């Protein structure tokens, strides 16, 4: 492995940092948490009864808990009276105390039962809410255009559906009840305190302005770092996903040290934003506790003074002091919850950013039934991935049923883009694309794409048996059609070497097959689909010459009676094409068959001769 010295590693990290900064086209904009919170709690629609019942249980549980100190204060008052009686008459009567203890037992048992109910209900509500978010997330991904995935890191998208949603789940699960309980407790305690002493009650509120200012200042700064923390978490996951899926390339080019340097860069950013977020949020609780304790001391001093002056009973003041402490506890709890909510809302922002992303143009329900076998026509088509950089301009092409159309040109000329537009992976800016004379905008995407069969350079296989991967082309195919497809694709040439034949489990991505074998599987899948229009994007690029000839022979029969588009890089493979479309910078510069284009001695001839030059 090549060594990378510290100065070089630092330079790599600097370059990577600059690259990351330039890559982030979306500058972090100041956003308010309230709209995100409204969106999050709007998902509770339809569960109002459960939420209301939870609130009532929380209110009942908190109310019973609030009554506890009052009865405990009564016990102290009764004991004080009995002590005085003892001194006066020499007798003590504990009967009143037994009655109070029974009441206290009832209060705390009732509070526990109601607490159990509220936790049980909230667990169900929150899990269903999170399930709905995941459902919406998954459904949204199927409606997003390819351009979204082109512009967003796969690892970041996965981080949103895992880390961010889990963060929302944990916060709601652990803090939703606490919020309700804290609010109810605060209101209930303050009402009871007012019945004891109005002046002391408002004195106990003296720390609140200080607590409020402290909370607002800290939360204002911490939300920025929480947002950065989850954004950087997505970047870390994106980098790991890239390095994992491309680990062979990383090792082949001895890129390990550079990959580590890149990871260190984004990991340090995550560490820094996480440290600042946790440090700022961690300040909130001790500062508010300090303010609360200061108020608690004030109440103790004033209460002691009233007892000395015989203006209040010991039991009443003891209960009031307990209530003042109980009044402060919800404030402390809410301050801690506020930190979790900041983190959760930062995650919710990322989730809703995806859920609110612009979707594909609304689909139609009209179906297309081919009558002419799949003729295709492009009429004055304009398209660009970036508005200010037009790629395809005034593109016109007419393809008849059964034609073999080859599209050639330099990389970036627009060859694959033509196919993407034909299948409505992207929407054209102007012009029309017709299949059998019907505008593709007037038919459903699902129906349109069922007409096509595609074999691409990049093979895609899922974890499952070889048979299941081939049947992916058409689930309802018969065994006879399956056998014909695998024979035509020449899969039988290697399936005998697999441990379980067609029932061999293929690892995710087909890692236990060679590149050529994976390509043969995708070709068999396309053959089984029996499409009306076939698209081959240099489908034989990953196979050896002998296998290439076998595939060409098999696909020749498949192409009969169908419209065929072949995106070719090796021009030797498309000599027999009916029409060769030569593209440059998104425009057709030449059309004709192989012989005609060579005679023209134009751009095609230049491309062709360059591939066979010594």
One DSSP character per residue, 193-226 reads HHHH-HHHHHHTTTHHHHHHHHHHHHHHHHHHHH
What tokens does 444 get?
């459903």
- d(C-alpha 305, C-alpha 283), whole Å: 34
- d(C-alpha 386, C-alpha 419), whole Å: 18
Question: CA gyration radius for the chain?
Answer: 36
- d(C-alpha 340, C-alpha 361), whole Å: 38
Q: Is the pTM of this model over 0.85?
A: no
DSSP of 366-385, one letter per residue? -----SSS--EEEEEEEE-S
Question: pLDDT tens digit string along 575-595?
Answer: 778 888 888 877 778 888 888
The stretch 288-304 carries a mean pLDDT of: 75
pLDDT surpasses 60 at 28: no
- d(C-alpha 229, C-alpha 216), whole Å: 20
Q: What are the Cα distances from residue 273, in Å, to 79, 280, 578?
A: 56, 11, 60
Question: pLDDT tens digit string along 453-480?
Answer: 887 777 778 888 888 888 888 888 888 8
Instruction: Give the residue with greater pLDDT, 18 vs 47.
Output: 47
Q: Round the average pLDDT of the chain to a whole number and report it.
A: 76
Break the chain down into helix, strand, coil percent, rounded to 5: 65, 10, 25
Closest alpha carbon to 433 in 402, 404, 409, 397? 397
pLDDT value of position 289? 74
Closest alpha carbon to 470 in 488, 452, 457? 488
Provide the pLDDT confidence category of residue 9 given band limits of 50, 70 and 90. Answer: very low
Question: pLDDT tens digit string along 249-265?
Answer: 666 666 677 777 877 88
The stretch 376-396 carries a mean pLDDT of: 83
583 within 8 A of 397, measured Cβ to Cβ: no
What tokens does 471 get?
């049947």
Rounded percentage of the chain residues whose pLDDT exceeds 70: 80
| Most confident segment among 273-287, 294-308, 429-443 | 429-443
Provide the pLDDT confidence category of residue 8 given band limits of 50, 70 and 90. Answer: very low
- d(C-alpha 180, C-alpha 196), whole Å: 25
List the single range of 147-156, 306-315, 352-361 with lowest mean pLDDT: 306-315
Alpha carbon 249 to chain centroid, angstroms: 27
Nearest 5°: phi and psi at 368? Answer: -115, 125
Closest alpha carbon to 76 in 104, 48, 114, 112? 104
Question: pLDDT tens digit string along 167-183?
Answer: 888 888 777 777 777 78
pLDDT surpasses 80 at 243: no
Instruction: Give the residue with greater pLDDT, 507 vs 352.
Output: 352
pLDDT value of position 432? 92
Please give the domain boundaries of the chain with CATH numbers for all domains.
39-355 (1.20.1560.10), 376-611 (3.40.50.300)
pLDDT value of position 15? 46
- Rounded to 5°, the CA angle 47-50-55 comes to 120
Decide the pairing of beta strands 438-439 and 430-435. antiparallel
Provide the pLDDT confidence category of residue 25 given band limits of 50, 70 and 90. Answer: very low
392: which strand partners?
383
Provide the pLDDT confidence category of residue 276 given band limits of 50, 70 and 90. Answer: confident
The stretch 185-209 carries a mean pLDDT of: 76
The stretch 407-413 carries a mean pLDDT of: 80
pLDDT value of position 88? 61
What tokens does 260 get?
């580590």
pLDDT surpasses 60 at 398: yes
pLDDT value of position 605? 86
What tokens does 597 get?
């284009």
pLDDT surpasses 60 at 613: no
């Amino acid at each position: 492995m090549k060594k990378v010295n510290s100065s070089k590693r630092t330079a790599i990290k600097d370059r990577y940092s600059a690259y990351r900064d330039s890559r982030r086209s979306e500058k972090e904009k100041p956003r308010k948490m309230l709209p995100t919170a409204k969106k999050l709690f709007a998902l509770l629609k339809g569960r109002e009864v459960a939420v209301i019942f939870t609130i009532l249980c929380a209110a009942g549980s908190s109310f019973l808990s609030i009554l506890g100190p009052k009865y405990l204060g009564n016990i102290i008052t009764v004991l004080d009276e009995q002590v005085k009686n003892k001194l006066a008459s020499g007798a003590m009567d504990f009967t009143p105390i037994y009655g109070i203890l029974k009441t206290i037992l009832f209060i705390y048992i009732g509070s526990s039962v109601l607490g159990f109910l509220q936790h049980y209900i909230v667990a169900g509500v929150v899990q269903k809410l999170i399930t709905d978010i995941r459902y919406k997330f998954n459904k949204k991904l199927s409606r997003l255009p390819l351009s979204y995935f082109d512009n967003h890191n796969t690892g970041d998208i996965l981080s949103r559906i895992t880390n961010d949603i889990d963060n929302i789940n944990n916060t709601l699960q652990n803090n939703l009840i606490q919020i309700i309980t804290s609010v109810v407790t605060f209101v209930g305690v303050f009402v009871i305190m007012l019945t004891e002493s109005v002046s002391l009650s408002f004195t106990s509120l003296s720390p609140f302005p200080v607590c409020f200012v402290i909370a607002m200042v800290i939360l204002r700064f911490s939300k920025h770092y929480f947002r950065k923390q989850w954004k950087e978490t997505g970047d870390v996951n994106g980098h790991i996903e890239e390095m994992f899926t491309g680990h062979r390339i990383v090792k082949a080019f001895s890129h390990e040290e550079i990959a580590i340097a890149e990871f260190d860069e984004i990991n340090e950013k995550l560490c820094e934003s996480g440290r600042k977020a946790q440090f700022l949020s961690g300040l909130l609780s001790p500062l508010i506790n300090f303010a609360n304790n200061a108020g608690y001391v004030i109440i103790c001093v004033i209460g002691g003074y009233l007892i000395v002056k015989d203006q209040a009973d010991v039991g009443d003041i003891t209960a009031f002091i307990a209530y003042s402490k109980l009044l402060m506890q919800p404030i402390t709890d809410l301050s801690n919850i506020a930190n979790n909510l900041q983190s959760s809302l930062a995650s919710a922002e990322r989730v809703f950013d995806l859920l609110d992303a612009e979707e594909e143009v609304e689909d139609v329900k009209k179906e297309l039934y081919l009558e002419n076998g799949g003729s295709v026509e492009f009429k004055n088509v304009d398209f660009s991935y970036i508005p200010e950089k037009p790629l395809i301009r005034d593109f016109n092409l007419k393809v008849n049923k059964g034609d073999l159309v080859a599209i050639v040109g330099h990389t970036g000329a627009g060859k694959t883009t033509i196919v993407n537009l034909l299948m409505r992976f992207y929407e054209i800016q102007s012009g029309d694309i017709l299949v059998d004379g019907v505008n593709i905008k007037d038919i459903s995407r699902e129906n349109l794409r069922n007409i096509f069969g595609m074999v691409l350079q990049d093979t895609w296989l899922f974890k499952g048996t070889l048979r299941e991967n081939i049947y992916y082309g058409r689930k309802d195919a018969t065994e006879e059609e399956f056998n014909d497809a695998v024979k035509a694709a020449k899969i039988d040439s290697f399936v005998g070497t697999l441990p379980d034949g067609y029932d061999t489990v293929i690892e995710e991505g087909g890692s236990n097959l060679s590149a050529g074998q994976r390509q043969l599987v995708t070709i068999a899948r396309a053959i089984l689909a029996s499409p009306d229009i076939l698209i081959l994007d240099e489908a034989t690029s990953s196979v050896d010459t002998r296998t290439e000839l076998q595939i060409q022979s098999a696909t020749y029969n498949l192409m009969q009676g169908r419209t065929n588009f072949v995106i070719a890089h090796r021009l030797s493979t498309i000599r027999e094409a009916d029409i060769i479309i030569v593209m440059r910078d998104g425009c057709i510069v030449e059309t004709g068959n192989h012989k005609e284009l060579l005679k023209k001695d134009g751009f095609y001839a230049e491309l062709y001769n360059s591939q066979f030059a010594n």
